[in-house]
Amino acid sequence: MSNARRLTVLGVTAALAGSLMAVPAAARTAAPRTGPAAQDPATPAKTPVAVGYGGAVASVDADASAAGIEVLRKGGNAVDAAVATAAALGVTEPYSSGVGGGGYFVYYDAKTRSVRTLDGRETAPRSATKDLFLENGKPIPFADAVTSGLSIGTPGTPATWDSALKKWGSRSLGQVLKPAEKLAEHGFTVDETFRKQTADNEARFRDFPATAALFLPGGKLPVVGSTLKNPDLARTYRELAAKGVGAVYHGAIGRDIVRTVQRPQVAAGSTRKVRPGHLTPADLAAYRTVGHQPTHTTYRGLDVYGMAPSSSGGTTIAEALNILEKSDLSHLSEQQFLHRYLEASRIAFADRGRWVGDPAYENVPVKGLTSKRFAASRECLINDDKALTSPLAPGDPRHPTPCGSTGKGVPTTYEGENTTHLTVADKWGNIVSYTLTIEQTGGSGIAVPGRGFLLNNELTDFSFTPVDPAVHDPNLPGSGKRPRSSISPTIVLRHGQPVLALGSPGGATIVTTVLQTLVNHLDRGMPLVDAIAAPRASQRNAAATELEPALWNSPLRKQLEALGHSFTQNPEIGAATGVQRLPDGRWLAAAEKVRRGGGSAQVVDPAP
């Protein structure tokens, strides 16, 4: 969620002045705050870039970034601040994140110069089979699955917070939840993005009394500039602070979640068919985060670490980078650069669709997918004079053969686009890149009565039926299984020292957003904030590539069409944030200039 009411640009170094000049005037004008926070002199302005010392936070929301900065100022580390920021996003970005969802957490430990990860993805109920979304042998309509108990997986976010703090944090859960608890109690200011997201979901929100009570105050859409409070969520955070996340996985909050999934409360007179889910207390009690080894590849002498399966983000970005490394992207024309980028992404998505699923259930060839040898066998498919045709058939990373393929090409399945990402660094050099989600905008649309949060619809990320009946689909539902994700929190190191970290929301476009931002910065020399702001294209082994308006209306579109590319327009792709370690030891935090109303980059101290 954006907070356009507080947008200004803070002063930064002269070297960044050119980047800041590109920020639209609307994003440099702060609208007045309303509500209790209006009198708070510490409330930050919203800016897409900040440079300074003591640590940095970048998220889509100024209140959430401020929560992380508050924890850093009080001596907390990057992990503490990341959880504080995420909890605050549960207040101000409730349609994208929260207690009822899951996510992936990537952490760089400055002391050991190592990268660790946590898979906090939601899991299917233990009763789930491959026929989870079938009725009479046919898949139910996707929209029906989204707004149902069937789509709700066991939430992983509370366990992720708890695991991260216990493994690498320095503060208690209660301490880092405090800023978010206050924010929920006192409220935040509604902006245009929040109102529009509410309006887009109004019909289904009205079908659930608990959801309508939270987000349609007085039965009406929230007014831009008004203050929206969530005292139920404040109480939930206080309960988590007092009792720990056992309140979710073994206690009263969990019982309320199960009751809501199994018997969704639908408004009298609603004609919506809301199928109940099968989540049980035993499913909650069995939930665990998983500490996978990160994916790893080298690129231009740098080490790139990402999220391993159940997310496809790390393997797909690694494969695409390995393919692109064979080209000198810095000296290509814009047309040649975009052509190569799109083809590398097309190929990597063809391979992820065939091979990536939950590694607890599927034999995922991670080493093969991220290997230079496999990338070389796939890079030879690229013709600089002609675009490939999708759906492209996958290769076999276990037995790479030059330009070889195996099986039949299948299109990429749909994933909900509304997620949120935060990036944090501290004064000791630790970094967190954390993407969390409830899947669609508004998740399942079903709020837990009295608890102040929405439940996810994450299980719709499974394939409802095999994409190709003749080929094994690694992403079919299963008992306790994690659905495949595209979430791509990424950390880049040079000789063990941090260079940058970033990530984005956006469903399957997350992979392409992170990939394009990386090559914009590392190969094309764009400052990080400009690499994030640059117009995006997303090719995911589909017949048409999605283009943002700036590329759609550019001569580049016709130049690429001449090579055989076809396009469809997408008004907005992703909403990235990142942090970068500058050579003089300062941190640079970067966020969107325009997308979702602009992001919020903050540092602890702009001065030494």
| Helix or strand (DSSP H, E) at 170 | none
d(CA 417, CA 506): 4
From residue 377, give the alpha-carbon distance in Å to each of 347, 363, 369, 400.
11, 21, 11, 6
d(CA 493, CA 335): 29
Task: State the catalytic residue, choosing from 189, 211, 236, 419.
Answer: 419
Instruction: List % helix, strand, coil for the chain (3-state, nearest 5).
Output: 35, 15, 45
d(CA 14, CA 352): 43
Cβ atoms 94, 451 nearer than 8 A: no
d(CA 591, CA 575): 8
- In the numeric block, the tokens 């409830």 are attached to 438
Q: Is 419 a catalytic residue?
A: yes
The full DSSP string for 519-588 is HHHHTT---HHHHHHS--EE-SSSSSEEE-HHHHTSHHHHHHHTTT--EEE-S-----EEEEE-TTS-EE
Cβ atoms 461, 483 nearer than 8 A: yes
Who contacts 600 (Cβ-Cβ below 8 Å, separation ≥6)?
3, 44, 46, 47, 48, 58, 59, 60, 61, 62, 64, 65, 66, 591
Cβ atoms 275, 288 nearer than 8 A: no
Q: Cα–chain-centroid distance for residue 276?
A: 27
d(CA 422, CA 68): 10
d(CA 578, CA 425): 10
Partnered with residue 498 across adjacent β-strands are 493
From residue 403, give the alpha-carbon distance in Å to each of 133, 142, 321, 348, 604.
36, 36, 17, 13, 50
Cβ atoms 85, 167 nearer than 8 A: no
Cβ atoms 560, 19 nearer than 8 A: no
The full DSSP string for 376-434 is HHHHTT-BTTB---SSPPP--TTS--TT---S---PPPP----EEEEEEEETTS-EEEE
Identity at 236, one-letter amino acid code: T
What is the chain's Cα-based Rg? 22
Cβ atoms 247, 253 nearer than 8 A: yes
DSSP helix/strand/coil, 58: strand
Identity at 522, one-letter amino acid code: L
Q: Which of 106, 206, 208 is nearest to 433 (CA)?
A: 106
| Helix or strand (DSSP H, E) at 516 | helix 509-522
Cβ atoms 429, 95 nearer than 8 A: no
Q: Which residues are annotated as catalytic?
A: 419
